[in-house]
Structure 1
Amino acid sequence: MVITKVGASVLSLSSVTPIDLTTAQQTMFSNLLSLLSTGGAVEIAYSIINRPPTYYAGTYTTQLEFQATGLVLCVQTVNATLNLNVQPFINTVQSQPITLQINSFQQFRSSGATASQSITNTRTVPVSIGLRGQAQFDYTGPAGINNPNTSIQQVQARLNMPVTGSYQTLSSSYQNLPGATSLDVPAGNQGTIKIDYALSPAALVSGFMQAGTYSNSIYGQFSDSRATPSNPATALNTLTPLTVEVADLQEMHINQPEVSLSFNQLSDYQNGISIDIPGHLTISKTNPFDVYVKAQSSSMANGTYSIPVDCLQIGPGAGQASVQTVTLSTTGQKLISGEAPCLDKNYNIRYSIPADKIPSLLGKPPGTYTTTITYSFTAP
Structure 2
Amino acid sequence: MTKQIVITALAFGAIILGTHNIQAQNTTATTAVNITLNDVISIDAGSTAIGGTVAFNYLTAADYNSDQTITKTNSLKVTSTKNFNVKVKAGGPNFVNGTNSIPVDVLTIKAATAAGTMGGTKNDVILSAGEKNLVANAPLGSALTLNLDYTIPAAKSSSSDILGKPAGTYTQTVTYTATAL
TM-score interval (norm. to shorter): 0.7 to 0.9
Question: Whole-Å Cα distance in 2 between the matches of residues 331 and 350 of structure 1?
Answer: 19
Structure 2 residue 37 is matched with structure 1 residue 246: yes
Cα distance in structure 1, aligned partners of 2:69 and 2:97: 20
Q: Report the alpha carbon displacement of residue 94 of structure 1 after superposing the two structures with TM.
A: 6.9
Distance 1:279 1:296 in 2: 22
- Corresponding residue for 2:90? 295
Q: Where in structure 1 do 4 or more consecutive aligned residues deviate above 3 Å? A: 42-48, 90-96
Residue of structure 1 aligned with 2:115, choices 320, 323, 326 = 320
Distance in 1 between residues matched to 2:34 and 2:10, nearest whole Å: 45
CA–CA separation in structure 1 for the residues paired with 2:148 and 2:175: 14
* Structure 2 residue aligned with 1:369: 170
Partner of 1:255: 48
Q: Could you tell me which of 309, 331, 351 is aligned with 2:130?
A: 331
Amino acid in the other structure paired with 1:366: A
Counterparts of 2:107 and 2:142, CA distance in 1: 29
Distance 2:136 2:39 in 1: 18
Choose from 65, 77, 91 the match for 1:270: 65
TM-score norm. by structure 1 comes to 0.39
One-letter amino acid matched to 1:264: L
Name the SS of the counterpart of 1:310 in structure 2.
helix
Aligned to 1:180: none
CA deviation vs aligned residue, 1:117-143 (integer Å, no higher than 9, x gap): xxxxxxxxxxxxxxxxxxxxxxxxxxx
Q: Match of 2:103?
A: 308
Work out whether 1:378 is the aligned partner of 2:179: yes
Measured against aligned partners, the alpha-carbon deviations of 1:324-378 in whole angstroms (never above 9, x if no partner) come to: 2101111111111211222222211111111222311121111111001111113
Question: 1:279 offset after TM fit, Å?
Answer: 1.2
- Report how many residues are paired: 165
Which one has the bigger helix percentage?
2
How far did 1:251 drift? 2.1
Task: Tell me, yes or no, if structure 1 residue 91 matches structure 2 residue 26.
Answer: yes
Q: Which amino acid aligns with 1:283?
A: V
Give the alignment partner of residue 154 of structure 2, picking from 341, 350, 355: 355
Amino acid at match of 1:314: I
* Match in the other structure for 1:223: none
Secondary structure class of the residue paired with 2:65: helix
Higher fraction of strand: 1
In 2: Cα distance, 1:299 partner to 1:344 partner = 32
TM-score calculated relative to the size of structure 2: 0.78
Q: Give runs of aligned pairs for residues 84-233 of structure 1, distance below 5 A.
A: 84-85=15-16, 86-87=19-20, 88-91=23-26, 95=30, 97-100=32-35
Query: Does the aligned pair in 1 maintain the 2:77–2:144 contact within 8 Å?
Result: yes
TM-align CA RMSD:
2.7
Rounded to whole Å, the distance in 1 between the matches of 2:127 and 2:82 is: 26
Flag the structure with more relative contact order, 1 or 2, with Cα contacts below 8 A and sequence separation at least 6: 2
Measured against aligned partners, the alpha-carbon deviations of 1:254-300 in whole angstroms (never above 9, x if no partner) come to 31611111112222222221100111211112221111110010001
